[in-house]
């Protein structure tokens, strides 16, 4: 009904706005993994370049020997001429649908873990130099586009207390910073593997390895100078792994504390989120007191698995990635709408892994007014073009027949969900962006007409008033 009555007026207001259109409003890819932030063609071109120009460079230690790049490819019986997109075989096709284990294998170029170690790891024989060079090339592409930003997710595992210093040194020493990039720390839920391998004694060790260096550097920045510099570009934390793994419900029994959790069983999703949230809250209070930037929790959630994950995230998180299971849980979906919790959705990723594009709830959520944006997840596995975020938008626009105003609203949502500093968001969205609704909308910056924002604001207010009304009636009865 809204579209029928206002589409022409929206289009007219948008056309009257000089200089702005979808291509030159800011948009943020709020869910993209660093080790898969390039497309396959980019990675292939880089591997060929290195094989032709630096074949004798020593790159890996295997089976008691140091191997050069040429020797690695000789052992694979491949030359630079033989390499192609099909040879790399990193796109997620039908064989990975509902098979997260097979999808993880797609991170190995040509199915070889040694190539992944050489080209896509930060901690390897060459100190992650190849991945740093690839990352800089991605940064150059982003800076040339000007209006596209990314929040790259990079892993801290919690196996060792030295991980933070190693990662920070890799970032700072390779000068991996850009005005178009911020970092988000992803924590894989792999306690059970660390325990089996003897890396840790209990779950408390994981939390200690994750947060002790952060408390130290927050109290005394000089104790870890490179980490202090890196954290100024970090905006939050993520919790990642295959959500479809079977786990005991969080409420089914009394769980031990982190120090007492010393079995080889992996804690449930909600347990991880609780400890991440509680430690982050304390850390944020300390950093705020010392005039340092703070962090938000934005986990992968609702891609598969138990609906309880979405409830846990609602109670602890600033935003989530995926959220496609909300389509089956209207009550929880309504809570996400009322609180306008950010949902970074990736229909192309879901299409390859868990839910075909035609069944994706993204468009339904957007029409209802949930705070959704589009993101790429893993361009290396899902994208075919040099600009994966534009590709994600363009496919959605064609499939769902989105208007220019729709695309600009989604771009604005991505900026609001992002962890960029407030003064930068003011430049992107307008000085009053935090007011929300019509008061917080600047069409000259966002290209979203006030009539659209007024509709969103009034619809949300009417729902909140309805909740207050029935809440008052319940209280009166009691």
Q: Find residue 186's DSSP bridge partners.
A: 155, 238
Task: Name residue 344's beta-bridge partners.
Answer: 321, 373
Return the pLDDT at 98: 44
pLDDT at 93: 53
| Predicted pLDDT of residue 96 | 47
pLDDT at 83: 80
Structural domains of the chain sorted by starting position, each given as residue range(s) with its CATH number in brackets: 24-37+109-452 (3.20.20.140)
19: left (phi over 0), alpha (psi -120 to 50) or beta: left
- Write down the catalytic residue from 93, 322, 363, 427: 322
Tokens of 386: 């040099």
- Residue where the block lists tokens 């932030």: 37
Give the closest residue to 408 by CA, choosing from 455, 377, 441. Answer: 441
The pTM of the whole model exceeds 0.85: yes
Annotated active-site residue 322? The verdict is yes
Residues 305 and 329: beta-carbon distance below 8 Å:
no
The pLDDT assigned to 224 comes to 96
List per-residue pLDDT tens for the chain, 478 residues long: 677 777 777 777 777 887 788 999 999 999 999 999 998 889 989 989 998 998 899 988 887 889 898 988 888 888 877 787 777 766 555 554 444 445 455 556 656 678 888 888 898 889 999 999 999 999 999 999 889 999 999 999 999 999 999 999 999 999 999 999 999 999 999 999 999 998 999 999 999 999 999 999 999 999 999 999 999 999 999 999 888 777 766 555 678 899 999 989 899 999 999 999 999 999 999 999 999 999 999 999 988 888 899 999 999 999 999 999 999 999 999 999 999 999 999 999 888 888 889 999 999 999 999 999 999 998 998 888 899 999 999 999 999 999 999 999 999 999 999 999 999 999 999 999 999 889 999 999 999 999 999 999 999 999 999 998 887 766 656 5
- H or E stretch including 164? helix 163-173
């Amino acid at each position: 009904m809204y579209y029928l009555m206002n589409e022409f007026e929206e289009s007219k207001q948008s056309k009257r706005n000089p200089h702005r259109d979808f291509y030159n409003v800011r948009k943020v890819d709020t869910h993209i993994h660093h080790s898969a932030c390039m497309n396959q063609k980019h990675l292939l071109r880089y591997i060929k370049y290195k094989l032709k120009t630096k074949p004798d460079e020593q790159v890996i230690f295997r089976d008691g020997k140091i191997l050069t790049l040429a020797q690695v490819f000789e052992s694979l019986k491949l030359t630079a001429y033989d390499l192609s997109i099909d040879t790399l075989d990193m796109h997620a096709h039908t064989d990975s649908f509902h098979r997260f284990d097979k999808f993880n294998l797609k991170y190995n170029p040509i199915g070889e873990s040694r190539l992944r170690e050489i080209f896509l790891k930060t901690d390897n024989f060459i100190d992650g130099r190849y991945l740093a060079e690839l990352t800089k090339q991605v940064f150059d592409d982003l800076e040339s586009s000007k209006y596209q930003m990314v929040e790259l997710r990079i892993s801290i595992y919690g196996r060792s207390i030295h991980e933070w210093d190693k990662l920070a040194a890799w970032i700072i020493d390779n000068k991996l910073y850009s005005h178009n990039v911020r970092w988000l720390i992803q924590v894989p839920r792999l306690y059970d593997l660390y325990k089996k391998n003897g890396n840790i004694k209990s779950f408390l060790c994981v939390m200690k390895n994750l947060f002790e260096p952060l408390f130290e550097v927050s109290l005394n920045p000089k104790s870890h100078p490179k980490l202090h510099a890196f954290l100024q570009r970090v905006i939050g934390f993520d919790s990642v792994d295959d959500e479809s793994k079977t786990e005991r419900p969080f409420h089914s029994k009394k769980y031990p504390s982190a120090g007492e959790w010393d079995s080889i069983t992996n804690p449930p999703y909600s347990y991880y989120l609780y400890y991440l949230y509680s430690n982050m809250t304390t850390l944020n209070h300390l950093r705020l007191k010392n005039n340092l930037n703070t962090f938000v929790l934005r986990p992968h959630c609702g891609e598969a698995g138990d609906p309880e994950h979405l409830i846990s995230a609602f109670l602890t998180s600033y935003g989530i990635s995926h959220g496609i299971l909300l389509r089956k849980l209207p009550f929880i979906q309504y809570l996400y709408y009322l609180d306008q919790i950010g949902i970074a959705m990736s229909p192309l990723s879901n299409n390859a892994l868990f839910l075909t594009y035609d069944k994706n709830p993204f468009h339904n959520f957007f029409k209802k007014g949930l705070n959704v944006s589009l993101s790429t997840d893993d361009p290396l596995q899902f994208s075919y073009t040099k600009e994966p975020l534009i590709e994600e938008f363009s496919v959605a626009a064609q499939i769902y027949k989105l208007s220019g105003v729709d695309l600009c609203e989604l771009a604005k949502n991505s900026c609001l969900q992002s962890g960029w500093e407030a003064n930068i968001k003011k430049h992107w969205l307008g000085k009053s962006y935090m007011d929300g609704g019509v008061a917080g909308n600047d069409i000259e910056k966002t290209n979203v007409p006030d009539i659209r924002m007024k509709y969103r604001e009034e619809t949300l207010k009417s729902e909140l008033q309805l909740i207050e009304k029935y809440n008052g009636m319940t209280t009166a009865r009691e």
